[in-house]
Amino acid sequence: MAIYLSYSKFDREILLIKPGITDYASILFRNENKLLALQSDPEQHYIETVVPVKIRLNKKYANNKTLKNYFIIIIITIVSVFK
């Protein structure tokens, strides 16, 4: 049985932000497949746990959208890839 996400009006607005190369959620959930594989119900875990965190991180980025912050995110991404 498929479980569908329901977004609030503000959450849907976050989905309209033009994506960049990387973001906070990409850094935090870079091993998302492994995380979900450990769950007894990956879809439920994704909907109840992962999506709210991703939305919160996207809101953080949207509220602090500067060129400096964008480059900081890129640097953190590079460091996390080589970690």
pLDDT tens track for 43-55: 999 989 999 999 9
Asked if residue 35 belongs to a domain, the reply is yes
Asked if residue 26 belongs to a domain, the reply is yes
Asked if residue 16 belongs to a domain, the reply is no
Q: Which H, E and C letters describe the chain, residue by residue?
A: CCCCCCCCHHHHHHCCCCCCCCCHHHHHCCCHHHHHHCCCCHHHHHHHHHHHHHHHHHHHHHHCCCHHHHHHHHHHHHHHHHC
The overall average pLDDT reported for the chain is: 87
Burial class (CB in 10 A: 0-12, 13-18, 19+), 23: buried
pTM score of the predicted model = 0.80
Asked if residue 51 belongs to a domain, the reply is yes
